[in-house]
Amino acid sequence: MKSFILVILAIIAVVVVAGGATAFHVMSEAGIDNSNSIGDIMDKVSNVASSESSSSGSSGGSVMDKVGDIVSEEVKFNAQNGEGYYREVTYKDGGFRQYDTETGDLIGSSYDSDQDKLPSME
């Protein structure tokens, strides 16, 4: 009975390790930066939310309210540049923001309040 339980535990451990390795490989192939932590992402969302509320003159909502406004988020190939990937975040109001997957910098936005934060096209 003990050997049966040990075999089951060993199988579960192998499945967990193989699943983690597969997930890491898939994320690497998709161009998702594996070094970013949740804290880094929350800091960026907080910076965007605070700059948005200060530029629009409204005090509305917390950072978590802004995160709740996200409808979709996907990583896309940067065809305009011919290389690399960007992360596009779409919001409830129909607007979007695009971030470089390597640096996390804002590279595109449909919001007027973000236009001065975008890199120069010259």
pLDDT of the residue at 56: 47
Render pLDDT for 47-92 as a digit per residue (tens, 0 to 9): 665 555 444 444 445 555 556 688 888 999 888 878 888 999 999 8
pLDDT of the residue at 59: 44
Buried/exposed 8-40: b ≥16 CB within 10 Å, e otherwise: eeeeeeeeeeeeeeeeeeeeeeebebeeeeeee
In contact, 62 and 45? CB cutoff 8 Å: no
pLDDT of the residue at 48: 61
Q: What is the mean pLDDT of the chain?
A: 76
Backbone φ, ψ for residue 121 (5° rounding): -90, 0
Q: Where are the strands (E) in the chain, listed by range?
A: 70-77, 85-91, 96-100, 106-109
Give the residue, 29 or 40, on which the prediction is more confident.
29
pLDDT of the residue at 12: 92
d(CA 110, CA 114): 8
d(CA 100, CA 88): 9
Lowest mean pLDDT among 7-11, 18-22, 57-61: 57-61
pLDDT of the residue at 88: 92
Polymer length in residues for the chain = 122
Rounded to two decimals, what is the model's pTM? 0.46
Q: HSE-up of 38 (CA within 13 Å, CB side)?
A: 1
Residue % of the chain over a pLDDT of 90: 10
